[in-house]
A and B are shown apart, each in its own frame.
Chain A
Amino acid sequence: NAGVTQTPKFQVLKTGQSMTLQCAQDMNHEYMSWYRQDPGMGLRLIHYSVGAGITDQGEVPNGYNVSRSTTEDFPLRLLSAAPSQTSVYFCASRHRDNSYEKLFFGSGTQLSVL
Protein backbone atom coordinates (compact mmCIF):
# COMPACT_ATOMS: atom_id res chain seq x y z
CA ASN A 1 0.00 0.00 0.00
CA ALA A 2 1.24 3.50 -0.81
CA GLY A 3 -0.68 5.05 2.11
CA VAL A 4 -1.41 8.77 1.67
CA THR A 5 0.09 10.32 -1.44
CA GLN A 6 0.36 14.07 -1.93
CA THR A 7 1.34 15.88 -5.10
CA PRO A 8 3.17 18.06 -5.86
CA LYS A 9 5.91 18.09 -3.20
CA PHE A 10 6.89 21.68 -3.99
CA GLN A 11 5.03 24.49 -5.70
CA VAL A 12 5.66 28.19 -6.30
CA LEU A 13 2.72 30.41 -7.22
CA LYS A 14 2.24 34.05 -7.98
CA THR A 15 -0.37 36.01 -6.07
CA GLY A 16 -3.77 35.48 -7.64
CA GLN A 17 -2.98 32.19 -9.31
CA SER A 18 -5.07 29.12 -8.64
CA MET A 19 -4.00 25.56 -8.12
CA THR A 20 -5.09 22.23 -6.70
CA LEU A 21 -3.13 20.17 -4.20
CA GLN A 22 -3.80 16.50 -4.74
CA CYS A 23 -4.29 13.89 -2.03
CA ALA A 24 -5.05 10.23 -2.52
CA GLN A 25 -5.19 7.30 -0.11
CA ASP A 26 -5.42 3.61 -0.84
CA MET A 27 -6.48 2.40 2.62
CA ASN A 28 -10.25 2.81 2.07
CA HIS A 29 -10.36 5.42 4.83
CA GLU A 30 -13.65 7.22 5.28
CA TYR A 31 -12.11 10.27 6.96
CA MET A 32 -9.71 12.65 5.19
CA SER A 33 -8.43 16.06 6.18
CA TRP A 34 -6.13 18.91 5.19
CA TYR A 35 -3.81 20.76 7.56
CA ARG A 36 -1.40 23.61 7.09
CA GLN A 37 1.78 23.90 9.15
CA ASP A 38 3.41 27.22 9.82
CA PRO A 39 6.50 27.83 11.99
CA GLY A 40 5.56 28.08 15.65
CA MET A 41 1.88 27.44 14.90
CA GLY A 42 1.73 23.69 14.73
CA LEU A 43 -0.85 22.15 12.43
CA ARG A 44 -4.12 23.91 11.78
CA LEU A 45 -7.10 22.12 10.28
CA ILE A 46 -8.39 23.57 7.01
CA HIS A 47 -11.16 21.20 5.86
CA TYR A 48 -12.14 17.63 6.51
CA SER A 49 -14.45 14.96 5.10
CA VAL A 50 -16.11 11.97 6.77
CA GLY A 51 -17.02 10.30 3.49
CA ALA A 52 -17.65 10.78 -0.22
CA GLY A 53 -19.92 13.75 -0.82
CA ILE A 54 -19.47 15.14 2.71
CA THR A 55 -17.09 17.96 3.63
CA ASP A 56 -16.84 20.38 6.52
CA GLN A 57 -14.78 23.36 7.57
CA GLY A 58 -11.99 23.24 10.07
CA GLU A 59 -10.19 26.01 11.90
CA VAL A 60 -8.83 28.01 8.93
CA PRO A 61 -11.03 27.34 5.86
CA ASN A 62 -10.98 30.78 4.23
CA GLY A 63 -9.34 30.84 0.80
CA TYR A 64 -9.59 27.07 0.33
CA ASN A 65 -12.17 24.78 -1.27
CA VAL A 66 -12.47 21.02 -1.11
CA SER A 67 -14.61 18.30 -2.62
CA ARG A 68 -14.87 14.56 -2.03
CA SER A 69 -16.27 12.79 -5.06
CA THR A 70 -14.58 9.46 -4.27
CA THR A 71 -13.39 7.72 -1.11
CA GLU A 72 -9.79 7.79 -2.36
CA ASP A 73 -9.31 11.44 -3.35
CA PHE A 74 -9.57 14.72 -1.43
CA PRO A 75 -8.16 17.64 -3.43
CA LEU A 76 -7.56 21.07 -1.90
CA ARG A 77 -8.12 24.07 -4.16
CA LEU A 78 -6.67 27.52 -3.79
CA LEU A 79 -8.83 29.78 -5.95
CA SER A 80 -6.71 32.94 -5.73
CA ALA A 81 -3.41 32.38 -3.95
CA ALA A 82 -2.19 34.93 -1.42
CA PRO A 83 1.23 35.25 0.29
CA SER A 84 -0.47 34.35 3.58
CA GLN A 85 -1.08 30.89 2.14
CA THR A 86 2.65 30.18 1.98
CA SER A 87 2.92 27.09 4.16
CA VAL A 88 3.46 23.36 4.25
CA TYR A 89 0.26 21.45 3.59
CA PHE A 90 -0.44 17.97 4.91
CA CYS A 91 -3.21 15.61 3.98
CA ALA A 92 -4.24 12.95 6.49
CA SER A 93 -6.71 10.08 6.60
CA ARG A 94 -8.09 7.50 8.99
CA HIS A 95 -10.83 4.91 9.28
CA ARG A 96 -14.28 5.89 10.42
CA ASP A 97 -15.85 9.20 11.20
CA ASN A 98 -14.78 9.42 14.80
CA SER A 99 -11.44 10.10 16.39
CA TYR A 100 -10.67 6.69 17.94
CA GLU A 101 -8.31 5.98 15.13
CA LYS A 102 -4.84 7.23 14.32
CA LEU A 103 -4.25 9.59 11.44
CA PHE A 104 -2.00 8.63 8.55
CA PHE A 105 -0.20 11.59 7.01
CA GLY A 106 1.15 12.29 3.57
CA SER A 107 4.67 13.67 3.15
CA GLY A 108 3.48 17.22 2.58
CA THR A 109 3.40 19.92 -0.09
CA GLN A 110 5.60 22.96 0.41
CA LEU A 111 3.83 25.95 -1.17
CA SER A 112 5.30 29.40 -1.70
CA VAL A 113 3.14 32.27 -2.89
CA LEU A 114 5.10 35.26 -4.18
Chain B
Amino acid sequence: SQQGEEDPQALSIQEGENATMNCSYKTSINNLQWYRQNSGRGLVHLILIRSNEREKHSGRLRVTLDTSKKSSSLLITASRAADTASYFCATDAQNNNDMRFGAGTRLTVKP
Protein backbone atom coordinates (compact mmCIF):
# COMPACT_ATOMS: atom_id res chain seq x y z
CA SER B 1 0.00 0.00 0.00
CA GLN B 2 1.07 3.60 -0.48
CA GLN B 3 3.02 5.08 2.36
CA GLY B 4 2.13 8.74 1.96
CA GLU B 5 -1.22 10.38 1.40
CA GLU B 6 -1.47 14.02 0.36
CA ASP B 7 -4.25 16.38 1.21
CA PRO B 8 -5.96 18.13 -0.48
CA GLN B 9 -6.12 16.28 -3.79
CA ALA B 10 -6.46 19.58 -5.62
CA LEU B 11 -5.85 23.19 -4.65
CA SER B 12 -6.57 26.34 -6.64
CA ILE B 13 -5.27 29.73 -5.51
CA GLN B 14 -4.49 33.19 -6.85
CA GLU B 15 -0.97 34.33 -7.61
CA GLY B 16 0.64 35.81 -4.54
CA GLU B 17 -1.27 33.65 -2.08
CA ASN B 18 0.32 30.91 0.00
CA ALA B 19 -0.30 27.25 -0.75
CA THR B 20 -0.25 24.56 1.93
CA MET B 21 -0.23 20.85 1.19
CA ASN B 22 -0.27 18.08 3.76
CA CYS B 23 1.07 14.56 3.79
CA SER B 24 0.31 11.73 6.19
CA TYR B 25 2.17 8.45 6.36
CA LYS B 26 1.82 5.16 8.14
CA THR B 27 5.13 3.77 9.39
CA SER B 28 8.30 5.08 11.01
CA ILE B 29 10.58 6.81 8.53
CA ASN B 30 14.16 7.95 8.09
CA ASN B 31 13.20 11.01 6.10
CA LEU B 32 10.44 12.57 4.07
CA GLN B 33 10.90 14.20 0.69
CA TRP B 34 8.74 16.45 -1.46
CA TYR B 35 8.77 16.33 -5.26
CA ARG B 36 7.16 18.40 -7.97
CA GLN B 37 5.83 17.17 -11.31
CA ASN B 38 4.92 19.41 -14.19
CA SER B 39 2.32 17.98 -16.53
CA GLY B 40 3.75 15.20 -18.69
CA ARG B 41 7.19 15.36 -17.10
CA GLY B 42 9.24 13.42 -14.57
CA LEU B 43 9.38 14.32 -10.90
CA VAL B 44 11.89 16.84 -9.58
CA HIS B 45 13.15 16.82 -6.01
CA LEU B 46 12.28 19.90 -3.94
CA ILE B 47 13.33 19.31 -0.36
CA LEU B 48 14.20 16.57 2.14
CA ILE B 49 13.54 16.65 5.87
CA ARG B 50 15.06 14.08 8.20
CA SER B 51 13.11 12.35 10.94
CA ASN B 52 14.98 14.29 13.65
CA GLU B 53 14.17 17.66 12.08
CA ARG B 54 10.95 19.58 12.64
CA GLU B 55 11.18 22.36 10.06
CA LYS B 56 13.21 23.17 6.99
CA HIS B 57 13.29 26.08 4.56
CA SER B 58 14.43 26.40 0.97
CA GLY B 59 13.67 29.65 -0.81
CA ARG B 60 9.86 30.03 -0.86
CA LEU B 61 9.39 26.50 0.46
CA ARG B 62 8.82 25.60 4.09
CA VAL B 63 8.44 22.00 5.20
CA THR B 64 7.41 20.79 8.63
CA LEU B 65 7.48 17.28 10.01
CA ASP B 66 5.59 15.92 13.00
CA THR B 67 6.69 12.34 13.58
CA SER B 68 4.28 11.89 16.49
CA LYS B 69 1.36 12.55 14.14
CA LYS B 70 3.10 10.96 11.15
CA SER B 71 2.45 14.03 9.06
CA SER B 72 4.24 16.71 7.08
CA SER B 73 3.24 19.93 5.40
CA LEU B 74 4.66 21.85 2.46
CA LEU B 75 4.09 25.59 2.35
CA ILE B 76 4.79 27.57 -0.81
CA THR B 77 4.77 31.28 -0.07
CA ALA B 78 3.96 34.07 -2.53
CA SER B 79 2.89 31.58 -5.18
CA ARG B 80 3.45 32.18 -8.88
CA ALA B 81 1.67 30.83 -11.96
CA ALA B 82 4.85 28.82 -12.64
CA ASP B 83 4.24 26.89 -9.39
CA THR B 84 1.29 25.18 -11.08
CA ALA B 85 2.15 21.48 -10.88
CA SER B 86 1.48 18.32 -8.89
CA TYR B 87 3.30 17.91 -5.59
CA PHE B 88 4.13 14.56 -4.03
CA CYS B 89 5.51 13.50 -0.69
CA ALA B 90 7.73 10.44 -0.55
CA THR B 91 8.73 8.40 2.45
CA ASP B 92 10.86 5.41 3.19
CA ALA B 93 10.25 2.74 5.78
CA GLN B 94 13.17 2.56 8.19
CA ASN B 95 14.08 -0.98 7.25
CA ASN B 96 13.56 -0.68 3.52
CA ASN B 97 15.52 0.82 0.66
CA ASP B 98 12.49 1.80 -1.35
CA MET B 99 10.70 5.13 -1.50
CA ARG B 100 6.90 5.25 -1.53
CA PHE B 101 4.92 8.14 -2.96
CA GLY B 102 1.49 9.49 -2.21
CA ALA B 103 -1.19 10.29 -4.80
CA GLY B 104 -0.18 13.95 -4.92
CA THR B 105 -1.78 17.37 -4.66
CA ARG B 106 -2.55 19.17 -7.91
CA LEU B 107 -1.86 22.87 -7.39
CA THR B 108 -3.21 25.48 -9.79
CA VAL B 109 -2.02 29.06 -9.37
CA LYS B 110 -4.13 31.53 -11.30
CA PRO B 111 -2.43 34.67 -12.61
Verify B97–A42 contact, CB threshold 8 A: no
Verify B99–A106 contact, CB threshold 8 A: no
Does B56 count as interface, using CB distance less than 8 angstroms?
no
User: Which residues of chain B come closer than 8 Å to A105, judged between CB atoms?
Assistant: 42-44
Does A82 count as interface, using CB distance less than 8 angstroms?
no
The segment from B14-22, B63-71, B72-80, B101-109 that touches chain A is B101-109
Does A19 count as interface, using CB distance less than 8 angstroms?
no
Interface size class of A (residues with CB under 8 A): 20 to 34
Min distance, Cβ A112 to any Cβ of chain B, angstroms: 15
User: Which residues of chain A come closer than 8 Å to B40, judged between CB atoms?
Assistant: 108
Min distance, Cβ B31 to any Cβ of chain A, angstroms: 6
Contact of A102 among B1, B45, B50 (CB under 8 A): B45
The segment from A33-41, A63-71, A73-81 that touches chain B is A33-41
Q: How many residues of B contact A (CB 8 A)?
A: 26
Known: A43-B88, A59-B1, A98-B30. A107 touches B101 (CB 8 A): no
Verify B104–A103 contact, CB threshold 8 A: no
Residues of A41-72 at the interface with B, using a CB-CB cut-off of 8 Å, are 41-45, 48, 50, 56, 58-59
Does B60 count as interface, using CB distance less than 8 angstroms?
no
Min distance, Cβ B102 to any Cβ of chain A, angstroms: 5
Which residue on B lies nearest to A40, using beta carbons?
B103
Report Cα–Cα, A43/B102, bound state, in Å. Answer: 7
Does B100 count as interface, using CB distance less than 8 angstroms?
yes
Min distance, Cβ B1 to any Cβ of chain A, angstroms: 7
Q: List 8 A-B contacts (CB under 8 A).
A: A31-B97, A33-B98, A59-B2, A92-B43, A99-B92, A103-B99, A107-B41, A107-B42
B residues engaging A (CB < 8 A)?
A: 1-2, 4, 30-31, 33, 35, 40-45, 48, 50, 88, 90, 92, 97-104
